[in-house]
Structure 1
Amino acid sequence: MAGTMKAAVIHEPGGPEVLRLEERPIPAARPGQVLIRVEAFGLNRSEMFTRQGLSPNVRFPRVLGIEAVGTVADAPGGEFRPGDVVATVMGGLGRDFDGGYAEYTLVPAAQLRTFLTDLPWDRLGALPEMLQTAWGSLFRALRLQPGERLLVRGGTTSVGMAAAAIAKRHGATVGSTTRRADREALLRACGADAVFIDTGAIANDVRSCWDGGADKVLELVGTTTLGDSLRCAREPGTVCLTGMVGNQWSLSDFNPMEVIPTGVGLTVYDGGVTDFMAMPLQALVDDVAAGRLHVPAGRVFRLDAIVEAHRTMEANTAGGKIVVVTR
């Protein structure tokens, strides 16, 4: 497909202002690749870390963006039809090759899924990576079962709100954390049965409320609260480290014998294309459209406001998943 497109390009790491809107040729698809007309994409903190220079394997210049939704513009291998509504996440998108921060993006056909919906693009843009992360954390890493008690540490993150909603529909009892008492109504609307005000040390509160603790803990804050989250779990519970919004990547002076309680398991979730292809995407999108899965939206920006969108993500002021629409 001839012509040019707008893309947000980063040439060197730095603050939000290093994202520059440029005119680029629309890439040409080869067999096995699909050209997507990007309609919307969600922002992810991993993209912020890459922009800051914290992803050592990413080479610049690069168009960031680990997810996108839109329509098929060209699929020379015949895997999809022009006009199909599609979503893609991960698999090197925005890291090994140019990603979703553009009007068009070129992806391997094997990491693309179709779905049907009447939801508008600004809502669809929030869903793929958020739902993949929530679903995979709950059911691949934590193996959540109906009737279990799930603690979501970092409940007001977009993944935390999605995970609470999905877990509640699955039949779990859900507790969510927040540092702000005025977020309690929001968390309960997402499915939380209990809300814990996060002081950094909530294990005693959780164990008092839930007769010894949670069966499963989804850790979205990161290593800064991981030790306390492990103490929130009761034997034979499991804690899954998925998020890093605390911006600390490692534990200092980590002593497993002191940090991990007897009989409590610790795992991680680092979802990718395999998990995205395995999740029930159509069913989840249908649940969102029908109001059965309550996922609060954050702010919506246009592509030419990508710098402001990144500033909002860095400041944690969106109140939900940030979405960028391309037109």
Structure 2
Amino acid sequence: MKVIVIYESGSSENLIIEDRPMPNPKNGKVLVKIKAFGLNRSELMTRKGYSPNVKFPRVLGIECVGEVIEDPSAELTNGQKVAAFMGGMGRDFDGSYAEYGVFPKSILMPFDSTLSWSILGALPEMFQTVYGSLHLALKMQKGESLLIRGGSSSIGLFATQMASKFGLSVISTTRDRNKEQSLLSNGANKVLIDNGLIHETIKEINPKGVDKALELVGVNTLPDTLLCLKQGGKACMTGMLSEQWSFQNFAPMEVIPPTVSLTTYDSGAVRVGTGAFQEFIKDIENQTLQMINHTVFPFTDIVKAHQFMESNKASGKIVMITEHP
């Protein structure tokens, strides 16, 4: 089989396609024929060397969709469609940048769908991150106001749809004025062009502040996002589009306003149930939720795909397919 492997951190050209023997599943693992996988900013950061716990060489990739080839326990039948979700994938062990993968059964979710592999490949981590952030971390409630910082990202666009469908009033931000209409089309009630400091503008719109905030940009905008919240409000930091992991000289009582709560969501640590994922797929099939724009690359164009992700020109998810759909 062919895999995309990185031997040392650096530029996108460090991603190399090579042949490897077909792996054998053992000890609670399953052999999956990978049909498609989405690209994620965390993989870009790992490629650059910003993930010190990841050892090279490594096959990156924290998500994929495909079909079961062999499950020694026979709990999953051959041909069953499955999605793989993080849980050390592409970091502690080889991930989805491959034609086949052996994954722990604990990170696999079986599902049924008539959607194409190129669409399905965009969904696993996008769904889990959005659902987990909004429902598990923020515990969103109908009628609340929600600020989405970094709204033109794939996560931001789906979060806008899901929150709007649930009955929230959504303010979404982008640095690119050309993406304003896309955010409005996805259900945002208002769009702000983000210059890094928006809390005064938010208070002009909602004098008391917003109920909830989803932070997708990172620690450089998080202090300002916290200032956008009303007393008793809650922010969830989920994304790091700015590629910054941590604060320098973090002083909680200076950064976090009184009575405001700050939480996080990590899809590798807290898993959303299979039933919710299947319902999400049905919403896409029934067009209750609209599939956002996604760009598809063939497996052999991994270098170009990483360069495209790094350029920040993508609108929505980038998906790699291992064969023609």
TM-score (norm 1): 0.96
- Within 2, Cα distance between the matches of 1:91 and 1:258? 34
Q: How does 1:148-297 map to 2 (within 5 A)?
A: 148-272=144-268, 274-277=270-273, 280-297=276-293
Q: How does 1:1-327 map to 2 (within 5 A)?
A: 5-272=1-268, 274-277=270-273, 280-327=276-323
Moved over 6 A (4+): none
- Within 2, Cα distance between the matches of 1:173 and 1:208? 16
Q: Is the 8 A contact 1:64 1:99 kept in 2?
A: yes
Q: Give the superposition deviation at 1:273.
A: 5.9
Q: CA RMSD for the aligned pairs?
A: 1.3
Q: Secondary structure at the match of 2:95?
A: coil
Q: Is the 8 A contact 1:8 1:20 kept in 2?
A: yes
Q: Is the 8 A contact 2:88 2:268 kept in 1?
A: no
Counterpart residue identity of residue 255, structure 1: A
- Within 2, Cα distance between the matches of 1:278 and 1:302? 28
TM-score (norm 2): 0.96
- Within 2, Cα distance between the matches of 1:55 and 1:66? 13
- Within 2, Cα distance between the matches of 1:38 and 1:278? 19
- Within 2, Cα distance between the matches of 1:207 and 1:275? 35
Q: Give the superposition deviation at 1:274.
A: 4.1
Q: Secondary structure at the match of 1:164?
A: helix
- Within 1, Cα distance between the matches of 2:302 and 2:223? 36
- Within 1, Cα distance between the matches of 2:37 and 2:143? 34
- Within 1, Cα distance between the matches of 2:133 and 2:182? 22
Q: Give the superposition deviation at 1:254.
A: 2.6
Counterpart residue identity of residue 35, structure 2: E
Q: 1:38-95, CA deviations, whole angstroms, 9 ceiling, x for partnerless residues? A: 0000001111111111111111111110001010011111120000011011111111
Q: Secondary structure at the match of 1:223?
A: coil
Q: Give the superposition deviation at 1:26.
A: 1.1
- Within 2, Cα distance between the matches of 1:279 and 1:294? 19
Counterpart residue identity of residue 42, structure 1: G
Q: Give the superposition deviation at 1:278.
A: 5.8
Q: Give the superposition deviation at 1:194.
A: 1.1
Q: Give the superposition deviation at 1:258.
A: 2.3
| Worse-superposed segment, 249-258 or 68-77 | 249-258
**In structure 2, do the counterparts of structure 1 residues 273 and 326 end up closer, same or farther at CA, with 3 Å as the change threshold?**
farther
| Worse-superposed segment, 294-303 or 216-225 | 294-303
Aligned length: 323
Q: Is the 8 A contact 1:111 1:277 kept in 2?
A: no
Q: 1:142-166, CA deviations, whole angstroms, 9 ceiling, x for partnerless residues? A: 1111111011000001111111111
- Within 1, Cα distance between the matches of 2:27 and 2:75? 9
Q: Give the superposition deviation at 1:123.
A: 0.7
Identity %: 49
Counterpart residue identity of residue 309, structure 2: M
Q: Secondary structure at the match of 1:184?
A: helix
Q: 1:80-123, CA deviations, whole angstroms, 9 ceiling, x for partnerless residues? A: 00000110111111111111000001101121111111110111
Counterpart residue identity of residue 283, structure 2: D
**In structure 2, do the counterparts of structure 1 residues 318 and 282 end up closer, same or farther at CA, with 3 Å as the change threshold?**
same
Task: In structure 2, list runs of 5 or more residues that go unmatched.
Answer: none
Q: Give the superposition deviation at 1:28.
A: 0.6
Q: Give the superposition deviation at 1:315.
A: 0.9
Q: Secondary structure at the match of 2:30?
A: strand
Counterpart residue identity of residue 304, structure 1: T
Q: Give the superposition deviation at 1:190.
A: 1.2
Counterpart residue identity of residue 171, structure 1: G
Q: Secondary structure at the match of 1:251?
A: coil
Q: Give the superposition deviation at 1:297.
A: 2.4
| Worse-superposed segment, 33-42 or 168-177 | 168-177
Q: Is the 8 A contact 1:111 1:273 kept in 2?
A: no
Counterpart residue identity of residue 82, structure 1: N
Q: Is the 8 A contact 1:165 1:295 kept in 2?
A: no
Q: Secondary structure at the match of 2:221?
A: helix
